[in-house]
Amino acid sequence: MSKVTKKILTIAAIILVVIILVLIYLAFGHKKAVAPTVNAPQNQAKTTPIPTTAKTPDDVLKNALNLYLEKKREGLDMQNGPCLGKIADDWVLDIAHNPRQPIDEKPENQCTDFKNGLAGHFIELDPEGKLIKLN
């Protein structure tokens, strides 16, 4: 086998390995953000306060999912699409339906801090804790 043939085979093998690694990453590297279920084991007797500072959208989403789980454990009915409140500086968490329903438009189910300009961003989760919108 000539040196050129060996180089071509080596390059082809490297390209194949890179393609396989990229496919594995794409298949298993990204997971949807979903709130833990109410039946998830509790590591603490009481939940910790939601931090008000968040440096990244991921931090804000984690805060939102933690607050969602806390309210779910408290027995709050999420089907009404309530505003769960502040999750970070300038961020609030709202529960809504996907697609939206008339109950989502009721003033008592909307975040007044966002409507009044006290919060500039919101996260919407559906009643099951699945992300609808991060704005």
Task: Based on the fold, state whether residues 18 and 74 are members of the same structural domain.
Answer: no
The rounded percent of the chain whose pLDDT value lies above 90 is 59
Number of domains in the chain: 2
Average pLDDT over residues 32-50: 51
In this predicted structure, the answer to whether residue 44 has a pLDDT above a threshold of 80 is no
The verdict on residue 42 lying in a domain is no
How far apart CA 29 and CA 117 sit, in angstroms, is: 37
Quickly tell me which residue has 């590297």 as its tokens.
29
DSSP string, 72-112: HHTT--GGG--EEEEEETTEEEEE--SS--GGGGSGGGS-H
Encode pLDDT of 2-28 as tens digits. 889 999 999 999 999 999 998 887 777
Task: Based on the fold, state whether residues 25 and 69 are members of the same structural domain.
Answer: no
The pLDDT-based confidence of 42 (bands split at 50, 70, 90) is: very low
Range of the domain at 21: 1-30
Peptide bond into 99 cis (omega under 30): yes
How far apart CA 63 and CA 50 sit, in angstroms, is: 6
Q: What is the pLDDT of residue 106?
A: 87
The verdict on residue 2 lying in a domain is yes
